[in-house]
Structure 1
């Protein structure tokens, strides 16, 4: 069977876009974290930020998933900046994030290409899920998922230990 396939990119349903474009050069990404719904917006934004110098305003951490999301959106839409908005019941906090071409080229694009080539393309060409078979998982992908899950478990243990340590200190102060 001969079939011509045209590259198409991603299809978007514009009637239901929840974030937005700013003029001809920017985008908006809005986050309304439920865990921070009653916090001051600037306090909620600290969950995602890092501060390189005391006198500089906090910036979205380059290791946070939201930074990757914003950089991907900036490059895909060919825009220069993003207004990253954290929204709570008490207001909003807006932070401008510039497109980082080096971050895209060195940290994101190679991984996206690898994921497409090793994970998505084989499923597009020869789908296994329609035959009730598990999807293909290259070893590097399995290891990355396991590593991520171990990190999350370690983080939870640290958080629990910190909380129980805090309560132990609190109880010892009461005595």
Structure 2
């Protein structure tokens, strides 16, 4: 169901948001790159701004297993993306849906992510605040990969250039390094 119904989910979200919020603006996002973490990029489904809640990103999830049912049916699934908390659905931090979404919030430096869970019969909007403490180990690992692997390859083709054995018989006239 995923991408096919994303437009329907976004249209419904925009309709509901216009009814409940003041001075709402929606913008398509494209690729956004973090100014703080230059190795981190995100492609949120939508950017939203209103005078009552501020700026944020929107990410749509259309779970195939409940495409014609209700979102509460997700609670019966072993690998469910949600749990029940005080009578409402909450996104599990242990589920794969959680990882890219707060990262997008950090990346675009917008305080709140609106996660849309959508079926043909129902929509659920959850506000997820940027959780840098949760993301810190992931950001550190990504930064290490960027500095030790990606950047050396981009700058001087460190891993894809054939390495020649050093020869001591002839002194180097010029020394080049990255």
Q: What's the Cα RMSD here? A: 3.3
- The structure carrying a bigger helix percent of its residues is 1
Matched, 1:49 2:75: no
Which of these residues, 19, 32, 46, is aligned with residue 20 of structure 1?
46
Q: For residues 131-170 of structure 1, what are the structure 2 equivalents within 5 Å?
A: none
Match of 2:22 in 1: none
Q: 1:87 to 1:36 in 2, by over 3 A?
A: same
Listed as ranges, the gaps of 5+ residues in structure 2 are 1-34, 163-178
SS of residue in 1 equivalent to 2:125: strand
1:117: which partner in 2?
147
Unaligned runs of 5+ in 1: 1-6, 132-175
- Specify whether residues 67 and 128 from structure 1 end up closer, same or farther in structure 2 by C-alpha distance, changes over 3 A only: same
How far, CA to CA, are the matches of 1:109 and 1:67 in structure 2? 14
Cα distance change, pair 89–109 in 1 and its aligned pair in 2 (3 A): same
- Aligned: 1:83 with 2:114: yes
Q: Is the Cα–Cα contact under 8 Å of residues 105 and 112 in structure 2 kept in the other structure? A: yes
Structure holding more strand per residue = 2
